[in-house]
Each structure stands twice: as C-alpha cells, then as structure tokens.
Amino acid sequence: MRISILGAVLALSSVVTSFPTGFQDQRVLGESDHLRLISVGEDHAEWLPESAKLELRRSGVKFMDITGYEDLGALNAERFVAAAVKFPKEPKYQEEVGPVLKNLTTKNMKANLEIFTHFHNRYYKSENGAASGKWLYEMVNKTASADPKIKVSQFHHPWGQHSVIAHIPGKKSNKTVVIGAHQDSANLFLPSILSAPGADDDGSGTVTTLEAFRALIAQGFKPDNNVEFHWYSAEEGGLLGSQAVFAEYEKQHRDVIAMLQQDMTGYNAKTIANGGPDAVGVITDFVHPGLTDFIKTIITEYCDIGFTETKCGYACSDHASASKAGYPSAFVIESTFDDSNKNIHTTEDTIDKLSFEHMFQHAKLTAAFAVELSHL
C-alpha cells in the first residue's frame, strides 16, 4: 500500500528519477524543486522533487527527507547499541517528582499557546516561521534565566527557522536525556501563504514541554544526567530539524540514553465522544520497547488518567530521527491515532478545540520522565 501511494505521488510530480543511495544530486528542477532523497520506509528511499513532499503529506504518507543524512546512525551502529540501555521497571523518585508536579499550571500553557497560534503560520521556510521560532527562543531563554547554569541555544538551519535547545547540565555524568516537540506548522494546501495556527500540531506539544521545563527550573532541578528540552524546526518538511540535531550529536559522540517526543497533546474530544476513557496514547511501533514500557509506568504512577497503546507508522514524528541515530526513543500522543485531531494541517487547527486539562496530564508525564531518568 505504501509503494502504491508513492507511485501515485511520483506520477503527480511528473518526475520519476531514482538514484543509488548516497548519490548527492545537485540538479535544479525549478526554484523550489530541487531533488530530495525521500524515505518512506526503513528500506525504501527515492529521489523526488521538493514539491512531491507536499503530495506525500496530502496522501497521508509519512516520510523522512534524508537528503544529506543518508549515513545517520552509521557511527552508532558500531559504538552504541540502543537495546543495551536498561530502563527501570518502575518509578522510584516520587519525593522529588511530587513538588515539581505541584508547580505545573494550565494557565501558562494557555497563555503561551494563545501567542504561538497568533502567528499566521509557523511554516519553516516562511518569515512567520522564523519569527515564531525567535519568539520561542526568547521565551525559553526567559524561562531559563533563573538558573545561570542552564544554556539555551539556537541550532541554526539554512531555511531560517532554527531549532531551540535548552541544556540542563548533569552533576554526575555526561549522559543525556532529551525531551522534544516540533515548533513548525503547515497548511497542506499553500503552506507558505495560508494560515496554519497549529494549535495542536504541534503547538500543544511545544507549550507542554515548555511548562514542564518551567516547573522543573522553579523547583531548582539539579539532575545527575544532562537533561535537554528540544523544540525542532521543519518536522513538517520530513524531520529535517531533528535529523540535523541528532546527526551532530552522533558526530560529537553524545550519549543520549533516552528521547521522548511530545507531538499533539491537547485533543481528546473524539475519545470522549466515543465513550472514553480519556488516556495518553503510547506509540508502540518504531520505538524503543524498553523505554516505552517505562513510560507506561510513569503514566500509571503520576498521571490522573491511564494510557492506551496505539501505532502511527514509519517516521511519524521527530523521535524517528533519534532512533535512526541509534538512540532509544519513544513517542506519546493525545489519544489513539485514530481518535487524534483531524483538523491538523488546516486553518481549523485552533486552540478552542483543545483540552488544557488533558495537556496538563502530558506535562505531568514530561516532568516526571525528566526527573526519573535524570538519575538513570
């Protein structure tokens, strides 16, 4: 089925060109139609024009634009085995987590999301995308200002919207725990022109992780391992921002022991309409099983709702970049994938459709995840 959809996209693109993996084609088909190496599965990639990526999105095909990152994970394949990381069977830092969770509030998430969704769109190639990324960087910097040891930086990308990284240094090790979300949004009809509020995709994940970050700092969080919060650019372009970040981490021999992605944390209306119960969706395909099992125990211990297992397919969010780089990654979402928000990638992905109480549960999960694994 995946290949038949890809074939239809190729036909729509009017250009069917395949090259061996690793070949850097520099030909230009038009101002915005450079050839890109697009991966739609672990063993299937083809060179397509830039415009074909939009057709893939419209067709519901998940993909990674691996142009320039064909060798991501090659170093870690030899020096790092993700399966060797042993995660706890259950949480054990309740005394440290409890006060952090009491610092969380839906008020901050709502205020931040109202600002974030007022950008006309956050398309990664647009001026709006660059402006929203700058606002986010400044907001993360402001949040981190209470602790001078925390370093906030922009990971620069050539398209103009930069990823944001907040680094909380560990006291005892150079191991790193990463919590991520993507900051960009896209309207699939005319992404650089039409409105894309992106309240749920992924404004909700952006402000959820920001609130967990704020609560940890307010409590004077001093982790044993490094803990980083990432807000990636260009997820909608094929996980471009996160691939760039994890490619650099692989080159630096960074020991990332766990990565959690929060992408769409606010919509539970369909779950409730279907009779519930309200629950956190835990993705079970293309993720690290041990880390995923540990996340289930985090939800059970610290959240007021349970979890439901679900699948989302290949390369459905930025955790896939971490996985490809050889790092254990996991992904949680607002519900089962079937019950998730269908207004995304349109003008209708607005804040009024979201539940901040549900987002609050994701913030609790995120903060607890950070504390528990900061001691792994």
Catalytic residues, which ones? 182, 201, 235-236, 263, 345
- Of the candidates 81, 38, 55, the residue with the CA atom closest to the CA atom of residue 243: 38
Cα–Cα distance for residue pair 265/258, rounded to 1 Å: 20
231: burial class by Cβ within 10 Å (0-12, 13-18, 19+)? Answer: buried
Cα–Cα distance for residue pair 258/84, rounded to 1 Å: 12
32: burial class by Cβ within 10 Å (0-12, 13-18, 19+)? Answer: exposed
Name residues whose C-beta falls within 8 Å of residue 78's C-beta, 6 or more positions apart in sequence. Answer: none
Name residues whose C-beta falls within 8 Å of residue 102's C-beta, 6 or more positions apart in sequence. Answer: none
72: number of CA atoms within 13 Å, CB side? Answer: 26
- Of the candidates 267, 118, 114, 112, the residue with the CA atom closest to the CA atom of residue 196: 118
305: burial class by Cβ within 10 Å (0-12, 13-18, 19+)? Answer: middle
State CA 126 to chain mean position distance.
Answer: 20
Q: How many residues does the chain have?
A: 376
Asked whether the bond before 20 is cis by omega within 30 degrees of 0, the reply is: no
132: number of CA atoms within 13 Å, CB side? Answer: 35
Cα–Cα distance for residue pair 279/254, rounded to 1 Å: 34
CB contact at 8 A, 294 and 88: yes
Cα–Cα distance for residue pair 257/334, rounded to 1 Å: 24
- For the chain, the straight-line distance linking the first and the last C-alpha, in angstroms and rounded, comes to 41
